[in-house]
Structure 1
Amino acid sequence: MPRSRANADDGDFRTLPQQVAAELRRRIVLGEFPPGAHLPERETSAALGVSRTPLREALRILASEGLVVIRPARSPEVADPSAQDLVDLFSVLRVLEALAGELACLRAGPAEIDEIRACHARLLTLVARGEPAAFFDADMAFHEAIVRAADNAALLKSHADYNSRLRRARFMTSRVDTDRARIAYEHAQILAAIEARDTRWAAATLDTHLRSANRKILEAYGEDAAEKRRPRTGRAAR
């Protein structure tokens, strides 16, 4: 549960609204707040153990990321992107990550490559475990390390925006893509390309990897769409 203030003692320098946004983001990604779910201030602030003021600021943060929709005189809602929305977003993300791979080959120093290696090593320890959330976090950390290694502030910002909008959809792939060994192998190929400073290889392996992820997202979305069409119970009133 978010604390009442940022705590420098344990290394968390986030403001309270940022902490609340992080907790809401986590619950949205995990499906605790499904697409289209209403987030009325009173119930949501009580569930998170915070007042309405930091909650409102947190909701504005998530709205800027495309995870929440805020409309006048209505409760905020968890964004409910269409299949076409996901296709459009992912087509841009794929280009951004391919560019990140190319730039990482050209700009990454030893420390940045070591960080990518460490992320890959962490993912390998999770291949055989039944921890989908931990595996997903390690997967995302690997990709984010590559983007940081590209050393391009504009790319970093754009990637964070698109990745945030797609994070829940990417997590959903764990329901249909259980071949973790394949994912780990593809990550190993991406890492090898960056270590070799081979820009074409890096871009191509990232593009292939993300095309596969895109297909899995749409498969998962198809299953989820049928679920969303069923009437919900216990949904908060506007």
Structure 2
Amino acid sequence: MEDALEIEAGLPLDDHRPIVRHNLHDAIVGRIRDMITEGVLPAGSRVHEGNLGRDLGVSRTPLREALKYLASEGLIELSPGRGAIVRKFSPKDVRDALTVLGALEALAGRLACEAATEADIREIRAMHDRMLELYARRDRLSYFKLNQAIHSAMLRISRNDALADVHGVLQARLKRIRYIGNEGPDKWAGAVEDHEAMMTALESRDGDALANALSRHMKRTWERVKDAL
């Protein structure tokens, strides 16, 4: 039961502890996604189903279903000859996706400033403050998950489901790439500074300022990750 609570809270787990969560599919998907995000399963590497299943304490059937789901997110490629491969993105793939994400989030920022309730804004402020606590503790994976949840929440409070759906696909695909954008104290501090600007604009309901902050954040994300690709 402890594992279930930790997974649902988005906290990092020892990769070799068995999964006991009731919703096994979500638990396996979440654990493998974390392993890809952290680079435990490197880009371009083949996923050895036997070893991975043993480490996670699950059989091949739910493991394969999880890999299929991650393939639908664009994190895994399924090859008839080689099995599951962790997808490797070219620099152009990443820059193109970040450009689109920046445009989507800029639009969402404008819409959010018009449509969000005061309760919505307070919720994101609470998430932001919790993220800063994780940053202060240098709890990188938990920080990153909450960071991504804040971006998703921005889309949710825009009240545009089509926009949120398209954004969700690209955001899921770029988790590993955006995670490495926090490598090194200067890059991580820069990302936090970007989020401070976003929060200020949202609380002021300044749609243009929030749109500019979100778009600028994606451009800076590219600058932070390009040398690692």
Class of the TM-score when normalised by the shorter of the 2 chains: 0.7 to 0.9
Which position in structure 1 is the counterpart of 2:117? 109
Deviates more, 1:100-109 or 1:180-189: 180-189
What whole-Å deviation, never above 9, does each CA across 1:201-237 have from its counterpart, x for those lacking one? 111111112211111111232xxxxxxxxxxxxxxxx
Contact 1:115 1:145 in 2 (8 A): no
Which position in structure 1 is the counterpart of 2:149? 141
Deviates more, 1:175-184 or 1:122-131: 175-184
Deviates more, 1:139-148 or 1:95-104: 139-148
Contact 1:68 1:77 in 2 (8 A): yes
Which position in structure 2 is the counterpart of 1:97? 105
Which position in structure 2 is the counterpart of 1:2? 19
Distance 1:139 1:107, change over 3 A: same
Please give the secondary structure, in 2, of the residue aligned with 1:69.
strand
1:215 lines up with 2:223 in the alignment: yes
The residue identity in structure 1 corresponding to 2:41 is F
What whole-Å deviation, never above 9, does each CA across 1:14-53 have from its counterpart, x for those lacking one? x322221111101110111001111132222222111111
Contact 1:2 1:19 in 2 (8 A): yes
The residue identity in structure 2 corresponding to 1:130 is R
Normalising by structure 1, what TM-score?
0.83
Please give the secondary structure, in 2, of the residue aligned with 1:73.
coil
Distance 1:179 1:129, change over 3 A: farther
The residue identity in structure 2 corresponding to 1:115 is E
Which position in structure 1 is the counterpart of 2:7? none
Residue from 47, 50, 56 that aligns with 2:58: 50
Which position in structure 1 is the counterpart of 2:174? 166
Please give the secondary structure, in 2, of the residue aligned with 1:97.
helix
Contact 1:39 1:75 in 2 (8 A): yes
The residue identity in structure 1 corresponding to 2:174 is L
Distance 1:177 1:86, change over 3 A: farther
Offset at 1:179?
4.6
Which position in structure 1 is the counterpart of 2:8? none
Deviates more, 1:167-176 or 1:133-142: 133-142
What whole-Å deviation, never above 9, does each CA across 1:147-179 have from its counterpart, x for those lacking one? 111121112211111011100001011224535
The residue identity in structure 1 corresponding to 2:82 is R
1:67 lines up with 2:75 in the alignment: yes
Deviates more, 1:68-77 or 1:139-148: 139-148
The residue identity in structure 2 corresponding to 1:153 is D
- Structure 2 unpaired stretches of 5+: 1-17
The 5 A counterparts of 1:116-131 are 116-131=124-139
Deviates more, 1:123-132 or 1:42-51: 123-132
The residue identity in structure 1 corresponding to 2:214 is L
Which is higher, the Rg of structure 1 or of structure 2? 1
Cα distance in 2, alignment partners of residues 82 and 194 from structure 1: 33
The residue identity in structure 2 corresponding to 1:213 is T
Normalising by structure 2, what TM-score?
0.86
1:132 lines up with 2:132 in the alignment: no
Cα distance in 1, alignment partners of residues 55 and 165 from structure 2: 31
Offset at 1:195?
2.0
1:191 lines up with 2:208 in the alignment: no
Cα distance in 1, alignment partners of residues 166 and 185 from structure 2: 26
